[in-house]
Structure 1
Amino acid sequence: MSVIIARGSAAAAILIVSAQGALADLSAQDVWADWKAYLTSTGYTVSGTESISGSTLTVSDVAMVMPIPEEDSTGTVNFPEIQFVENGDGTVNVLLPKEFPMGFDFSADGESFSGKLIYAHDGSPMTVTGDAESMSYDYSSSKVTMTLDGLTADGEAVPADIAKAQITLHDVATRTDMKIAGARRYEQSLTASSFNYDMGFNDPESNGSGSFKGALQGLRFAGTSTVPTGLEGPDMAALLEAGFAFDGTFTFAGGNGAVSGVDGSESFAMESNSQGGSIAVAMDKQQLTYDVSQINTNVNISGSEIPFPLALSMAETGFKLMMPLAKSNEEQDFALGVTLRDFAVPDMLWGMVDPTGQLPHDPATVVLELVGKGKVLFDLFDPEAMEAVETGDEQPGELNALTVKQLQVSAAGAELTGTGDFTFNNEDLVSFDGMPAPSGEANLKLTGANTLIDKLIQMGLMSDSDAMGARMMMGMLAVPGDGDDTLTSKIEISEDGQIHANGQRIK
């Protein structure tokens, strides 16, 4: 049931956004026709009862049916009424009631799930301007809410206290500039002073419950998208091949959240806050890119399985990913980045491993930035090809080159930094035990390692024999650098499989 709820909620949200982002033209009838054409081109079947009174077109009992091929099922979202009003000055207002239910209905694998969301706003219209090939529309509302109201699973009503969900946006303003010329191209922006969410569930069978609450302040979004027309279904591979693409960045000035859960006698709770962040996503038929970051994050964790509350802080967290999507025998770029800067843990936790304070308790940092080239040898959107990769019957791809642009790991007074650049011979899977043979070099610098080892010995966390082994390894791979307790290392791998450390052959 939880899987069905998740899919239903996601699909309903997508349909809401699509409905608000597709209504645009200069006459009431053409607006409705254009909306239907847009949704139909992305895989929906749209129907409704039309009536005209003066300059107002009213479409009631609107139904949007979406096929879900991978589940061999369909999903349906219903609107009670939408009005398109010609203003007499070449503009059109799109009106939704101040409050109305939106029904949804999904079925898959012999299970069915239905319910409704109550959509409420201040009644402001969406105003459309422009011409038939270039349209702009604006919408603003002092408050927008969507509240879950009534669920049915397999024909049986779900009690109201089993699940709840509400999202609220304040001071919402959106603008979309749309051009229609073979494909629809959008430039979109959104601002909101705040976004609040409150979700929860109770499971009487397992005596479990969960709660998810939080808020974001100072929201902004700006992005572009291209949606091809003339397709018969919502197949992602076909959409991408026809030119579907988007590129958008979402930012917020601050946020806070709380997650809690109970499962029988076990409990868990986490609270967090930050001073802002951003999420950037881009996708086209060639690649997918994520860039997520957050600053000055604080996290408090407690639970029945945690001996004492934990208070963690991070000055900066980030994750970057760029991956190719298209099957190709040509090399394509990829990238991966992880940032965890100034990660601090409470003194109580330090006291468990360092009660006398011999180690520096400075915040730790981990930064890794990789770029490279590789080949994707299967279609990521083909279920049969994906299954063949999972079973090992098909090779997913090749790694051809890898560059370490930045490596930084610092903790307890020691720091490792470095860079590297390697290429890989996929014809040689013998020299390195099944791995494509690398060639290239890495340059590393390690500071504070010997001092850290000495302190670990004094604390009883490392034996003399272990320390001797570690120092022998450092002596074999590194040479003294500039400054006290500093080691440097240049690791070179030749095309014939030889490995040299600082000019000395070790393999």
Structure 2
Amino acid sequence: MNARFARGFGAAFFYVLATQAAHADLTAADVWADWQDYLTSTGYSVSGDASGSGGVLTVSDVSIEMPLAEEEGTVTITMGTLTFSENGDGTVDIAVPDNIPMNFATVDETGKPVTGALAFSHNDSSMTASGDRGDVTYDYSSALAKMELASLSIADEPMPENMLSVLLTIENVNSSTRTLTGDLRTYSQQLTADAVRYDIGFDDPESDDMGSFKGAIADVRTEGTGAMPPGMDPDDFDAALENGLAFDGTLTYGSGSSDFQGVGDGESFAFASTSQGGRFSFTMDADHLGYDLEQKQIGVSMQADELPVPVEISAAVSGFNLSIPVRESDEDQDFAIGLNLGDFTMSEVLWSMIDPAAQLPRDPANVVLDAVGKGKLLFNLLDPEEAAMMQIGATPPAEISALTINKLLVSLVGASLSGTGDFTFDNDDTTTMNGYPRPAGYIDLTMVGANALLEKLSGMGLVANEEAMGARLMMGLLAVPGDAPDTLKSRIEINDQGHIIANGQRIK
């Protein structure tokens, strides 16, 4: 199953769920026409028999189909009968069947045909369109929306009963989607749900292999905006971005949990996690791609036959962010990367394996990186052909012209290293640094507790005396004593001639 297959089901599912349509002038016929316009513009073909009178339009035998890329199959959604009813107050109610089958046909990696069906259902649901032509808001609510794997066959052989189960549910979902029609079809959306739950099970009838993956996130809220160009080709994502395709969305949740356990090759394993809230943001347009992920109060436990002891770790916060350009450019573009692991701890059982005599401090560990910069991407990241050429070629994929380290922090077992820095890079000079672009700039570093840590590691036998002595000599060469005990400071500079200077002394 390829990326377009996944996008196809995702687009169809959330279209049914949130009705991201536009153009409606709040007559029943025009709302149905807009559904067709929206779906055909994103690569689907739509069919159905429409008839109506008295402000009610009924469309029967509705079928939505999308071919997969490279003639690998199709996705077909059979929606049955839709009813569009004008309320006489400028709004239109839309009745969608409670059960909607979604069939797919594709091929696996070996070329074998794969067919199956997903079943989407929703209970106690309502959907209403309001607003004006070209500026329409769709409000949707459902007590329970559910997606379930109904069947699966490989090479015309039905999957054995209970071999694979997939269930996704969304409880008490409410969404509001406003759409505007212009040169681009734009939308803004808000969605809330009490909980999103997933339950995936696998049981191989020909072996003992089995697995169960369950989880949930509660108090879900999403907000997002987007734009789609007319006549967008789903197979040419790069061209769609160039023509105005864009996404910007954020998902937050109040708590989460997951549980994964099973047996593989005769060995059992189990994994469980919890968190007390989190956030995931995603943005994409013609210029850049960005992710921002954060979880709070995380707890993770793992155990397996091949592990000597159960593993338990936790952290107050875990985060990662990345923003990079996606298109080739002759001008510098911004990029950013960040990492935040706060108050990381592990169980005493693990500590006792590393440090049975408890000589090392059990202080929570922290790792922070906040860096921004400028550079040029030398190919179009989302063009599959150009990406493939970059993988097999000798040309570097990008050039970095500037890097600023706003914050660097690594602290654990009683010692810490922190710093900031700022560098530029001359990509025309790859001689001075033996094949690498010549840097110019500085980094300021502060290390606390290094000597005490070396003594403890040496006393535990984890670091040989010769290695500890070599580390102290290196610190003496590159650093100077700070104001507090067992504190070292260092400024490492690289000038325009490629000279490396430590605390005013040239060392290269």
Contact 2:217–2:255 under 8 Å retained in 1: yes
Quick one: structure 1 residues 39 and 263, their matched pair in 2 at CA, closer, same or farther if it must change by over 3 Å?
Answer: same
Contact 1:423–1:439 under 8 Å retained in 2: yes
CA drift of 1:7 comes to 7.2
* TM-superposition CA deviations, 1:435-475 (whole Å, max 9, x none): 11111000000000000111112222222111100000100
Q: How does 1:342-357 map to 2 (within 5 A)?
A: 342-357=343-358
Contact 2:268–2:304 under 8 Å retained in 1: yes
Query: Of 11, 28, 34, which aligns to 1:14?
Result: 11
Quick one: structure 1 residues 136 and 395, their matched pair in 2 at CA, closer, same or farther if it must change by over 3 Å?
Answer: same
CA drift of 1:154 comes to 2.6
Q: How does 1:316-327 map to 2 (within 5 A)?
A: 316-327=317-328
* TM-superposition CA deviations, 1:108-163 (whole Å, max 9, x none): 67433222222222242210011111101111112111221112223222123111
Q: Give the equivalent residue in structure 1 for 2:221.
A: 220
Q: How does 1:117-266 map to 2 (within 5 A)?
A: 117-205=118-206, 207-266=208-267
Contact 1:12–1:77 under 8 Å retained in 2: no
TM-score, scaled relative to structure 2: 0.95
Quick one: structure 1 residues 326 and 9, their matched pair in 2 at CA, closer, same or farther if it must change by over 3 Å?
Answer: closer
Task: Name the Cα RMSD after superposition.
Answer: 1.9
Contact 1:62–1:81 under 8 Å retained in 2: yes
Of 445-454 and 349-358, more deviation after overlay is shown by 349-358
1:32 aligned counterpart, secondary structure: helix
1:33 aligned counterpart, secondary structure: helix
For 2:162 and 2:181, how far apart are their aligned partners in 1? Answer: 46
CA drift of 1:68 comes to 3.3
For 2:128 and 2:250, how far apart are their aligned partners in 1? Answer: 24
For 1:329 and 1:167, how far apart are their aligned partners in 2? Answer: 45
Quick one: structure 1 residues 376 and 500, their matched pair in 2 at CA, closer, same or farther if it must change by over 3 Å?
Answer: same
Of 348-357 and 45-54, more deviation after overlay is shown by 45-54
Q: Give the equivalent residue in structure 2 for 1:374.
A: 375
For 1:402 and 1:71, how far apart are their aligned partners in 2? Answer: 44
Of 295-304 and 12-21, more deviation after overlay is shown by 12-21
For 2:21 and 2:79, how far apart are their aligned partners in 1? Answer: 14
CA drift of 1:246 comes to 1.4
Contact 2:20–2:177 under 8 Å retained in 1: no
CA drift of 1:9 comes to 5.8
Does residue 85 (structure 1) correspond to residue 85 (structure 2)? The answer is yes
CA drift of 1:233 comes to 4.7
Contact 1:287–1:323 under 8 Å retained in 2: yes
Contact 2:39–2:45 under 8 Å retained in 1: yes
Quick one: structure 1 residues 361 and 108, their matched pair in 2 at CA, closer, same or farther if it must change by over 3 Å?
Answer: closer
Name the amino acid aligned to 1:38: Y
For 2:371 and 2:487, how far apart are their aligned partners in 1? Answer: 25
2:244 aligned counterpart, secondary structure: coil
CA drift of 1:72 comes to 5.1
Contact 2:77–2:101 under 8 Å retained in 1: no
Contact 2:92–2:128 under 8 Å retained in 1: yes
CA drift of 1:417 comes to 0.1
CA drift of 1:321 comes to 0.2
Quick one: structure 1 residues 89 and 222, their matched pair in 2 at CA, closer, same or farther if it must change by over 3 Å?
Answer: same
Name the amino acid aligned to 1:334: F
2:303 aligned counterpart, secondary structure: strand
* TM-superposition CA deviations, 1:44-102 (whole Å, max 9, x none): 22222333354332323333332333565443333233222222322111111223433
CA drift of 1:205 comes to 4.4
Q: Give the equivalent residue in structure 2 for 1:37.
A: 37
For 1:318 and 1:359, how far apart are their aligned partners in 2? Answer: 27
Contact 2:66–2:74 under 8 Å retained in 1: yes
Quick one: structure 1 residues 192 and 430, their matched pair in 2 at CA, closer, same or farther if it must change by over 3 Å?
Answer: same
For 2:206 and 2:427, how far apart are their aligned partners in 1? Answer: 53
Q: How does 1:303-452 map to 2 (within 5 A)?
A: 303-452=304-453
Quick one: structure 1 residues 226 and 115, their matched pair in 2 at CA, closer, same or farther if it must change by over 3 Å?
Answer: same
2:19 aligned counterpart, secondary structure: helix
Contact 2:4–2:234 under 8 Å retained in 1: no
For 1:378 and 1:403, how far apart are their aligned partners in 2? Answer: 24
Name the amino acid aligned to 1:474: M
Contact 1:80–1:101 under 8 Å retained in 2: no
Quick one: structure 1 residues 295 and 327, their matched pair in 2 at CA, closer, same or farther if it must change by over 3 Å?
Answer: same
Contact 1:23–1:32 under 8 Å retained in 2: no
Q: How does 1:273-292 map to 2 (within 5 A)?
A: 273-292=274-293
Name the amino acid aligned to 1:247: D
Contact 1:359–1:412 under 8 Å retained in 2: yes
For 1:439 and 1:153, how far apart are their aligned partners in 2? Answer: 58
Q: How does 1:414-493 map to 2 (within 5 A)?
A: 414-493=415-494
* TM-superposition CA deviations, 1:248-282 (whole Å, max 9, x none): 11000001111123212122211010100000111
2:219 aligned counterpart, secondary structure: strand
1:307 aligned counterpart, secondary structure: coil
Aligned residues: 504
Contact 1:377–1:396 under 8 Å retained in 2: yes
Quick one: structure 1 residues 497 and 265, their matched pair in 2 at CA, closer, same or farther if it must change by over 3 Å?
Answer: same
CA drift of 1:195 comes to 1.1
Contact 1:77–1:105 under 8 Å retained in 2: no
Contact 1:206–1:263 under 8 Å retained in 2: no
For 1:196 and 1:376, how far apart are their aligned partners in 2? Answer: 39
Quick one: structure 1 residues 171 and 273, their matched pair in 2 at CA, closer, same or farther if it must change by over 3 Å?
Answer: same
Contact 2:137–2:177 under 8 Å retained in 1: yes
Quick one: structure 1 residues 413 and 266, their matched pair in 2 at CA, closer, same or farther if it must change by over 3 Å?
Answer: same
1:22 aligned counterpart, secondary structure: coil
For 1:355 and 1:70, how far apart are their aligned partners in 2? Answer: 59
Quick one: structure 1 residues 205 and 375, their matched pair in 2 at CA, closer, same or farther if it must change by over 3 Å?
Answer: farther
* TM-superposition CA deviations, 1:287-317 (whole Å, max 9, x none): 0111000000000111111111111100000
For 1:7 and 1:178, how far apart are their aligned partners in 2? Answer: 24
CA drift of 1:410 comes to 0.4
CA drift of 1:43 comes to 1.9
Quick one: structure 1 residues 460 and 243, their matched pair in 2 at CA, closer, same or farther if it must change by over 3 Å?
Answer: same
Quick one: structure 1 residues 232 and 219, their matched pair in 2 at CA, closer, same or farther if it must change by over 3 Å?
Answer: closer
For 1:505 and 1:70, how far apart are their aligned partners in 2? Answer: 60
Quick one: structure 1 residues 251 and 233, their matched pair in 2 at CA, closer, same or farther if it must change by over 3 Å?
Answer: closer
Of 383-392 and 438-447, more deviation after overlay is shown by 383-392
